[in-house]
Each structure stands twice: as C-alpha cells, then as structure tokens.
Amino acid sequence: MTTSATTSTKPKTFRAAVNAALKQEMRRDERVIVMGEDVAGGQGGSAETEEAWGGPFGMTKGLIGEFGPGRVLDTPITEAAFVGAATGAAMTGLRPVVEIMFVDFMAVAFDQILNQMAKIKYMFGGKATLPITVRCLYGAGFRAGAQHSQCLYPMLTHVPGLKVAIPASPYEAKGMLAAAIRDDDPVFFFEHKATLGMREPVPEEEYVIPLGQARVMREGKDITIVAIGRMALFAAKAAEALAEEGIDCEVVDPRTTSPLDSEAILASVRKTGRLIVVDEAYPRCNMATDIAALAAQEAFRDLRAAPRMVSPPHTSVPFGGPLEDAYVPGPDRIADAVRAAMTDK
Amino acid sequence: MQLSRDDLLDAYRVMKTMREFDERLHVEFATGEIPGFVHLYCGEEASGAGICAHLDDRDHIASNHRGHGHCIAKGCDVPGMMAEIYGKETGLCGGKGGSMHIADLEKGMMGANGIVGAGTPLVCGAALSAKTLGTGGVAVAFTGDGGSNQGAVYESMNLAGVWTLPAIFVFENNGYGEASASSWATAGGSIAKRAEGFGIPFVTVDGADYFAVREAAGEAVARARAGEGPSVIECEMRRFYGHFEGDPQTYRTEDELAEVRERRDPIPRFTARVREAGLLEEDDFAAVDAEVAELIERAVAEAKAAKVPAVETLADHVYTSY
C-alpha cells in the first residue's frame, strides 16, 4: 500500500500533503468547507490581507484564494461554538473540515464533541448523517508545555460514534485525510507537530487509504511492535537497530484507533508470539493498555512473553528540555522493551 | 397584525395539541409506564407556536430538554413522538432517543437536548448551511433562562454576529432553572439585554401572549431571511409543572402556582381575544378540541401497543459504516 505506480510522485512534507488533500477534496465536492481559527487569518487586521497565515502552521495556506471566504471560514477563538456549528452544518447538508489548532483545545468544545457530535446519529435512531472531519495537532517534543502537547486520542477512541485517524507520515496523511473527509461519520484526524516538516514521496493523484486498515510497516518473525502515529516512525527506527542484533521485529501501524484493525494486530501477534505496544498518550487507559488487553484475551495461548507497554510516565507534559526529552518514548526505550520481551521465558 | 381564520385555527390547534400532549404525559407518567424523565411544556405553548408559525421546511430548530412543544410546532408526527417517549420501535428515533432526544431532521427539528444550552451551536451550523447553500432558511435555538447562562450560548451569539448568520436565539424564561429562580441566576437582571453586547437586536415579550410572540418572531425571521443576521427574543412565562415530572416544587408557593394557572395560561388568553374580536366561535374551538383529543388518544393507544426495539438493534446506528 505504499507508493502506487505513478509518474507524478514528488517528495512532500506532511504539511503539504495535508494541504493537497484539503484542496483535492474541496475541488471534488463543493459541500466541503473548512473552518477554524485563522485558517486564513488576518480578518480585520491593519494589513488588509485576505490570508495572513493559512493557519498558524500554514496547513490551510492558499485555500481562501482558491475557494473564497464562503468555504474557508475564519472563526473567533470559540471552540464550543464552531465545533458545534460544524456539527449542525453537517446535519444540514455540508461536509465541514474543522481545525482545532491544538487537540488540547478540544476541552473547550467537549460537550459538543462528546454529547452532540458523537451521539446524534445514535440518539436519532440513525436518521442523521454527520460527515465532519476535525483536524488537530498533537504530541510532545515541541517545548510547548502541558496545554499544547497532549495526545488525547484515547479519550476520543473511548467514545462510540467518533472515528480516530492518526497518520504517521505524509503519504499516509494525504490518503487518510481524503478518506476522513469522504466518510459520513465524524473523524478526528491527528497531525503530530514534530512530523509536519517530514518529507516522503507522495503521489499527485487521488488515492484513499481506508479507515480501519492497519499497515505492516516492516515484516518480522520474532516480535510485534504496534506503534501509533509518530511512535510508528520511532518503532521502525528501533527495529532497524535491533535487526543488527539479530532481532527480527514486525512493526504494525494501526493507522486508526477507531475503528481498530484488531485482526491485523492479532494476526501479527499470533505469528511472532511477542508484543510491544508503543503509545505517546498518557499510560492509563491508553491504546497500549487497550491493545495489550486485546492480545491477552484473544491470543493468550500464542503469547510467549507478557505484552509490554511503552508510554510516557503518568504526568503532564513538562516544558523544560531535559524533562520533555525524558518524557517522550524514543527508539531507545522501545528497543529496551523489545530486548526485555525477548528474554522473557 | 391581521391573521386569517386559518392562521388562527392553526395556532389554536398547535397550542392545544401541545397542551393535551403534555397533560396526558403528566397522567401517564405517574403510572410508571413511561421510562426516564419527562419535562412538560404546559404554560409555554405561545412561545413555540408563535415562533414556529413563521417557519417552513427550509428552516431548522434546535430544542432543549423541554422539547415536546417545539416538536409539535415544527410539524413532527405526534403519534411518532408519543411512541418515542414510550421507548418504542415506532418512535421518531426508533426508541433510541426518548423525550430528551426527540428529533426529526426531515421536519427541520434538530433534536431536543439533554445538555442545557447545547442546541445553540448546532443552530449556528444549520444557519451556516442555509447561508452557504443559499436555501433562504433560518435556524432557531430554543433555550431557557437556565441555558442563558451557558458559555456555549454566548459563544454562539458572538459567532452568529461575526458570521451574520440567519439565526434566532429564543430564551424561554419560565422563571426557574431547575429549582433556582431566574431572577437569582441572571446577573444584570435581563437575559435579552445581554444581546446588546453582541450588537444583536433583542426584544422581551410576554411569552403567554401568542400575538406578541408571533409579532416579535416575524420581525426576527424577516431580518434573518433578508441576510441581516441574528436576533434574540426572550419570552417571559411560567411553567405549570415542575422542572421534571415528580418534582415536588418545594421552591414555589401554592399561591404562585394558582396565579400562574389563572393569569398566565396562554390558551384562554388566546381564545378570549379571538372570541372577543369575533374571529372564531365556540364551535370552531370545540371542533379542534375534538380533533386533538382523538389524536392524543390514538397516539397513546398506538404507543402502548407498539413493540419495544429488538435487542439485536442495540449496536445499530453508532456509525454509518465501521
């Protein structure tokens, strides 16, 4: 499922891949609108520019020029109102793509997410469609402090009615964002701050990576590492180093935590008999505990070692450099967990 | 305001249906046959009826926990509503919503809501759809005095102002947010006047006066349809019953309850005025009364007879596809 045979594949950053997917989907369907804080930027400022920022990280650059202010809507800093407005708009015929700048800010809109967006279809007996995509930045390592560095996708994965996509790289981001925008259910789409500048070949053509299909990033026979988002990149790096020690790791990126491709994860665990789950989210009730429990229940007899979970400590994300560096799991910590699992009897 | 005979008959039919629907629920709830909570709209009928009189199929409303009246005013199927409240598979939401989540998007009814004030952001979205898709529609949020203190409501009013949305925020001030008086919970003393800070036109009307509500709503809807942005209407009224059925109302005196029934009932006020003006006669009201009584009787009988949802449907409708 990596790059398809195409003549127009160019190296793109994660940022550019997201931007390309937004433009592609807005051209494809005029019901798709984009809204959020400063997605164009500069409204009412003294510089009289139609677009000052294109989003604080430039993810939405150029959209207002092509699609105009009727489809690219700057909002005041008012997450409850605009996330709720996106929900109401989706119920009445539009397909909004909402940017919550940092996922931490979803707390301000959590009633609209938890009690409205997630439940309306169910409460209405299926007689509502909510095609909403909520894009948000997540993750530590940016010296952004405790309120701009969280992961929080386990909280959303917990809630029935929401889907959660966490692409690890630019190619993944373009294909998964197209899938999210075309999906008729609410999808939260996570973009890691530390990977925005990452480059890899990305086709110019349309392609869609279906939600709910994990990918095997690297095949191996000794141990399975399931790793999410940026952690999948670290797991692949750890696997390279471990290969030199003669440990053959299989790396599985679930891509989405809701739906979760349990079958792909279990198939790998049954093959290797060992499991490490790497999750940058807080350690209690995160995806690592969830996936470890899944393996323990469904593949107990295939396991040759206890599943191990690699996550940060149960603290808020620290600001200071050495503290944050110690907080985020890296390839070394993943490799240590793999070595420990390999020596389990 | 000159209303036709048909307009008046419609107004009476809607208010009478609301009243009889909830009076019947008051009786039936006490038998224990209805699951969950119900919140009755008795005494507030002129608000929902007067506002929705201006709305059509292009338009949307979002309601609150006290939403039966709003559903009826927006044209929801009455037997379907009753079946939903009984938790039956023939209900508007297949028995998955109940009283607090009754909805019918085909009628532009975006749902009652169990979270106070939460319908207002949704209404901004419906108004945005109307504006973006050019339907000419407007969207109305019904919130109470309790909801008027929620942050999401003010965020929505601000957003509607900034985006010049065809949205109307209706505050049904029935005197109490649960068991606390709105006069106590409202700093500054006026809900409507808060709109001034957002530059939104506002008005406070006697919410038991159908004609006053209808006139105020007509102006707000006309402004919204003309692209002139949002409005706020505060309807002052009193509910006849408690916050929920079973509420002992220990926060209200007997005198207040009697005074509310005697002087603030919108239906006799409507009929007296229409009769005095010689526009409708006793026979007209009696014919509607009979029609409504038959409808409510049928709705209850059908709801009681209907099947509960099959357990196999428990996990349906969580997602469109998964």
Instruction: Identify whether residues A185 and A247 lie together within a single domain.
Output: no
| Cβ contacts of A186 on chain B, cutoff 8 Å | none
What does the alpha-carbon distance between residue A311 and residue B120 come to, in Å, rounded to a whole number? 39
Q: Residue B12 in 3-state DSSP?
A: helix
Instruction: Identify whether residues A305 and A238 lie together within a single domain.
Output: yes
Angle at A230 between CA A261 and CA A26, to 5 degrees: 75
Instruction: Identify whether residues A124 and A251 lie together within a single domain.
Output: no
Do the beta carbons of residue B139 and residue B127 sit within 8 Å? yes
| Cβ contacts of B152 on chain A, cutoff 8 Å | 80-81, 84, 111-112
Confidence of residue A147 (pLDDT cuts 50, 70, 90): very high
**CB burial readout B37-72, b (16+ within 10 A) else e:** bbbbbbbbbbbbbbbbbbbeeebbbbbbbbbbbbbb
Rounded alpha-carbon distances, angstroms, from residue A99 to A93, A134, A135, A263, A319: 19, 6, 5, 31, 24
Instruction: Identify whether residues A278 and A174 lie together within a single domain.
Output: no
Q: Which domain holds residue A103?
A: 9-203
Residue A6 has pLDDT above 80, yes or no: no
A84 and B97 in contact by Cβ < 8 A?
Answer: no
How close B181 comes to chain A (CA, Å)? 25
Q: Does B134 touch chain A (CB under 8 A)?
A: no
What does the alpha-carbon distance between residue B146 and residue B243 come to, in Å, rounded to a whole number? 11
Angle at A188 between CA A263 and CA A122, to 5 degrees: 80
Q: Residue B92 in 3-state DSSP?
A: coil
Q: Does A111 touch chain B (CB under 8 A)?
A: yes
The partner residue sitting opposite A70, judged by closest CB among B103, B132, B152, is: B132
Is the CATH code 3.40.50.970 the one for domain B5-303? yes
Q: Which residues of A are catalytic?
A: 148
Instruction: Identify whether residues A194 and A292 lie together within a single domain.
Output: no
How many A×B Cβ pairs under 8 Å? 158
Q: Does A93 touch chain B (CB under 8 A)?
A: yes
- Is A4 a domain residue? no
DSSP secondary structure, A54-113, as one string: SSTTSTTTTHHHHH-TTTEEE--S-HHHHHHHHHHHHHTT-EEEEEEEEGGGGGGGHHII
pLDDT digits (tens, 9 = 90+) for A244-265: 999 999 999 999 999 999 999 9
pLDDT digits (tens, 9 = 90+) for A195-211: 999 999 999 999 999 99
Mean pLDDT of A302-319: 97
Confidence of residue A68 (pLDDT cuts 50, 70, 90): very high
> Closest residue of B to A160, CA-based?
B318
The answer to whether the complex's ipTM is over 0.95 is: yes
How close A134 comes to chain B (CA, Å)? 15
Do the beta carbons of residue B150 and residue B186 sit within 8 Å? no
Structure tokens at A5: 């045979």
Domain boundaries in chain B?
5-303
Beta strand pairing status for B139-144 and B60-62?
parallel
Domain containing A246 — which CATH number?
3.40.50.920
Q: Please list the helix, strand and coil fractions of chain A in percent, rounded to the nearest 5, in that order.
A: 40, 20, 40
Mean pLDDT of A66-70: 97
B318 and A90 in contact by Cβ < 8 A?
Answer: no
Instruction: Identify whether residues A181 and A276 lie together within a single domain.
Output: no
How close A157 comes to chain B (CA, Å)? 13
pLDDT at B2: 85
Out of A180, A203, A226, pick the residue that ends a domain: A203
CB-count burial class (<10 Å; 0-12, 13-18, 19+) for B263: exposed
Confidence of residue A287 (pLDDT cuts 50, 70, 90): very high
Instruction: Identify whether residues A228 and A192 lie together within a single domain.
Output: no
Closest CA to A166 of A209, A116, A123: A209
- List per-block mean pLDDT (blocks of 10 residues) for chain B, which spans 322 residues: 92 98 97 95 98 98 98 98 98 97 97 97 98 98 97 98 98 97 96 97 98 98 98 98 95 96 97 96 97 98 98 96 88
> What total number of domains does chain A contain?
2
Q: Does B185 touch chain A (CB under 8 A)?
A: no
What does the alpha-carbon distance between residue A231 and residue B205 come to, in Å, rounded to a whole number? 59
**Helices A79-91 and B119-133, axial angle in degrees (round to 10):** 60
Mean pLDDT of A186-198: 97
Residues 6+ apart with CB under 8 A from A21: A173, A174, A175, A177, A178, A181
Instruction: Identify whether residues A173 and A248 lie together within a single domain.
Output: no
Rounded alpha-carbon distances, angstroms, from residue A82 to A162, A334, B121, B280: 17, 39, 7, 46
